[in-house]
Structure 1
Amino acid sequence: MPSSPDADRDPVPAPRAPLDVRAAAGYTVAVLALAAMGLVNQPFLRPDDPWSLGVSLPLMLVAAASTLWRRRAPAVTLAVGAPLVVAELLGGGQMSAYVLLFEALWCPVVHGRLRLAHLTTLAAAAVGGVLILAAGLLVRDLEALLGVAIVLSMVVLVPLLWGWEVRHHRDARATAESVASLERELAAERASLAVESERRRIAHDLHDVIAGHLSAVSLHTSLAADLPDAASRERSLRTARDSSRAALRDLRSMIGVLTAEEGAAPTATLSWGSLGERLRGGLPGAEVRIDPALDAAAPGAPAGPGSSGIEPAAQAALLRIGAEAVTNAVRHGAAPASLTVTLDGEDLLLALDNAIPPGAPPPRADGVGRGAITARAGAVGGEAHSAPDPSAPTRWSVRARLPATGRIPA
């Protein structure tokens, strides 16, 4: 038997329905019609002296009336109807008793609580066994005793087995509907999470790529206004113009991805060379050292011996981390600065250091940029951190170590 708290709950809402009223009326008509036609069977205990119709008919009418509670309170139908029809089968023999016995046993199993259904089954089996045993003591004819056993087994087992079959099918359907509802809720939740994940990815791409270009534009246009040398001003304005064009290309690429029917990755205007130029332009005198193997592995670069073993996902993640680190250094840092990116065996290493301007506010621990650096490294099985250098608190340090194969953490 189920042990959950809901196992003994009403299987269906059970208000008195018009169908129950019609069912009771139909049973009443059946009782009267069968009595009027004189269809009777020999009672089991009084085969030679059955009850008169004046006794049998009221019993059957009361049993028929008890079916008014067949759904709302099937225990009433069982408690009232079953004893009356059993008494009629033993002493009267009206054919309507068989019909009403079926209803009295079937309703508690189908419409009652699970406990009532089990009790009905056990009680019916016990009463049927007692009646067969009593018939064996009273009837000496083996053939007659076999007939009695078959009849009692049929009138008891058929409604019980049918009732349990209906109940099991109904419970299975309710379970299937519940599972389907849960699956729909999970699908909606997965879709919502996918949308949120895509929004975050787009936000990171905008922050890592386009924001870096726009920061370079702002920096160089401001710098150009203070440069006395015309050649330096022209060079700074040319860098700002190139950065603005790159930002526009990246933005168009991302819009194209968002409006395309098939998913695709945006082609960002990002390379180690452009990052080095951005760092030198924002922090003059910055040292930039890029491993040639990484330049060979960059998107769009021709295949070469140095590119072997570097997963594109790892290279892209390192580029994004480098773009974020350079942007933060140019925006918030000061010279001197250095950027080193190397391939060390099976690991990609990035190190960026810059001075912290005097009086600069402490960085936010929950900043988008610092979080993006950590998240992009973790996405390919690596690690990264950005914080003041423990050995030199006046310097800001970014360190990243990524597996060149781009392993996804388990």
Structure 2
Amino acid sequence: MPPHHPPLSRLPRWGQDAVIASGYFALGSVLYSAGLHSLLGGEHIPMWTRYALLGVLCSLLLLRRRAPGLLLCVALVPLGVDAALGVTVPMLLAFGDTLYSATLYGSRRLSRAMVTLTAVGALAASVIALLLVPDWRIAVLAIVVYVPFVAIPVWWGTDIRWHRELTETERANAAQLARIAELDRDAAVAAERARMARDLHDVIAGHLSAIALQSEAALSTTDPKAARTVLTSVRENSVSALEEMRTMIGLLREHGTGEVTAPARLAGLSRLTESARASGMRLDVHTDLDPATPLPAAVDLTAYRIAQEALTNAVKHAPGAEATLTIRHADGVLTVEVTNELTGSAHAGESGTGLLSMRERAAAVGGTFAAGPGGRGWRVHAALPVPEVAA
């Protein structure tokens, strides 16, 4: 159901001001015609003078939104003339709207000053009434009647303005929160895409690279036994790639919040080394890991993926070369290091997705990563902190 809007709010602002000004003039005319306009004398004043003053003041109300400060200053002139001739209710009603407009539509400084000006004006008018009116009882009665004409519009305008500013502030805060939530969602999506790209590269590309290199070796060898060994490794890599891809797809379909990656650990390091050797690499492995001391899952997985990617790069860029894989755990740090000789076809300065992926994985667990020429070959080094397990 569409929201209901009052008919006046459907008009443009100048139209609303014209209707309000006309309403005050119509109300004042009724009071003048009924003789309910006088507060402090002035009955001998011709009525056309009263209508003229009211018309001038109501015409000035067309400025109530566009120039409320100017309206307030200029409106004092007809009000002062009316007060000199004898204060009337229609003029006070119309002037009350100028106070209301200055408080609600004026600048913040003017709105705040209206409270002080109203208090000072009411006090001054009270003192003048007590001094000029012979009968103090009539003076007090005039004060009681006059003060609400001045105080109520200012109080009402202040209250409405406060609620409007509060609503605008809440709306701005809601918009900012929505923008922050949108940025957080974008960042989360970007981070998830980067993580999925890293996992696809490490999990699938590593196996496919090994399969491509090993199948090439199988095609070039004439030794049936060596060819069978290579093809066995090709099958193992194919099955591993298929299993890990199924695991990743299953995690994605389950909308899991954990890391979208296959459950690989250093306990399965032998498959990596056998695959690298089947590709023709002469690989030495040195590790001092204690099977009885489990590593945190994140550190274990990161170390495995870094070793996997480093060996894959070594096989790809230095086929048939000597390489060394060293994994040590000491002083709360797990160190993974892969060094290999540089052959004539190696690209020592190459930097691509693999190095970026290894660096991101090490940083994700608070570790450090470095890769570059070292000694007589290429060196990949990762230091991963291992949190102490509370007893």
TM-score, normalisation: structure 2: 0.88
Are the counterparts in 2 of residues 89 and 97 from structure 1 also a CA contact under 8 Å?
no
Equivalent residue in structure 2 for 1:106, among 100, 125, 135 = 100
**Residue equivalent to 2:225:** 231
Letter in 2 for 1:75: G
Q: What pairs with 1:175-190 in structure 2 (closer than 5 Å)?
A: 175-190=169-184
**Cα gap change, 1:97 to 1:160, in 2 (>3 Å):** same
Distance 1:370 1:48, change over 3 A: closer
1:141 to partner: Cα distance: 4.9
Does 2:347 match 1:361?
Answer: yes
2:164 match: 170
Q: What residue in structure 2 maps to residue 397 of structure 1?
A: 379
Structure 2: runs of 5 or more not aligned: 1-10
Give 1:136-175 correspondences, 5 Å limit: 136-139=130-133, 141-175=135-169
Structure 1 equivalent of residue 323 of structure 2: 337
- Contact 2:203/2:262 (<8 A) preserved: no
In the alignment, is residue 216 of structure 1 matched against residue 210 of structure 2?
yes
Aligned to 2:3: none
Alignment partner for residue 205 of structure 1, among 192, 199, 206?
199
1:352: which partner in 2? 338
Which residue of 35, 38, 46 corresponds with 1:41? Answer: 38
Deviation string 1:106-164 (CA, Å, 9 cap, x unpaired) is 01111122233345444444433332232233246554444444344322221111111
Q: Distance in 2 between matches of 1:368 and 1:361?
A: 14
Letter of the 2:261 counterpart:
P
**Structure 1 32/49 Cα, relative in aligned 2: closer, same or farther at 3 Å?**
closer
> Which SS does the other structure have where 2:282 is aligned?
coil
Structure 2 residue aligned with 1:284, among 271, 281, 286? 281
1:283–1:337: structure 2 CA closer, same or farther, 3 Å change rule? farther
Letter matched to residue 367 of structure 2? G
CA apart distance, 1:395: 0.7
Aligned pairs for 1:254-273 within 5 A: 254-264=248-258, 265-268=260-263, 271-273=268-270
- How far apart are the structure 2 equivalents of 1:48 and 1:358? 114
Question: For the residues of structure 2 that align with 1:362 and 1:406, how far apart are their CA atoms?
Answer: 37
The residue aligned with 1:300 is: none
Residue-by-residue CA offset, 1:80-105 (whole Å, 9 max, x unaligned): 33432354245333221221121010
Cross-structure match for 1:325: 310
Secondary structure of 1:17's counterpart equals helix
Query: Using the alignment, how far apart are the partners of 2:256 and 2:354 within structure 1?
Result: 29
- Following superposition of structure 1 onto structure 2, how do residues 6-45 of structure 1 map, counting pairs within 5 Å? 16-43=13-40
Q: Which residue of 2 aligns with 1:5?
A: none
Q: What is the CA deviation profile of residues 238-269 of structure 1, one whole-angstrom value per residue up to 9, with x for unaligned ones? A: 11111011111111222222222443443345
- Indicate yes or no: 2:271 matched with 1:274: yes
> Which shifted more, 226-235 or 271-280?
271-280
User: What residue in structure 1 maps to residue 8 of structure 2?
Assistant: none
Inter-CA distance 406–159: structure 2 relative to 1 (3 Å threshold): farther
Distance 1:31 1:139 in 2: 25
Is the CA contact (8 Å cut-off) linking 1:315 and 1:404 kept in structure 2? no
State the Cα deviation string for residues 24-81 of structure 1 (Å, max 9, x = none): 22112111111111102332xxx47663323222111211222222222223432333
Q: CA offset at residue 214 of structure 1? A: 0.6
Q: Kindly provide the amino acid, as one letter, of the partner of residue 251 in structure 2.
A: V
CA contact (8 A) 2:229 2:278 kept: no
Give me the CA root mean square deviation.
2.4
Structure 1's consecutive aligned runs of 4 or more residues displaced over 6 angstroms after TM superposition are none
CA distance in 2, matches of 1:132, 1:247: 93
Structure-1 residue corresponding to 2:7: none
Distance 1:128 1:247 in 2: 87
Provide, for residues 178-228 of structure 1, a one-character-per-residue CA deviation record: whole Å limited to 9, x for no partner: 111111111111111111100100010011111111111011100011111
Which letter maps to 1:153? V
SS in 1 for 2:261: coil
Within 2, Cα distance between the matches of 1:234 and 1:361? 30
Distance change in 2, residues 1:236/1:406 (3 Å)? farther
Unaligned stretches of 5+ in structure 1? 1-13, 297-304
Query: Mean Cα displacement is larger for which, 237-246 or 124-133?
Result: 124-133
2:301 matches 1:316: yes
Alpha-carbon contact 1:82-1:104 (below 8 Å) kept: no
Mapped contact 1:107–1:163 kept (Cα < 8 A): yes
Do the aligned partners of 1:50 and 1:91 also contact (CA within 8 Å) in 2?
no
Kindly provide the CA deviation profile for residues 5-26 of structure 1, in whole angstroms up to 9, marking residues without a partner as x: xxxxxxxxx9743222211221
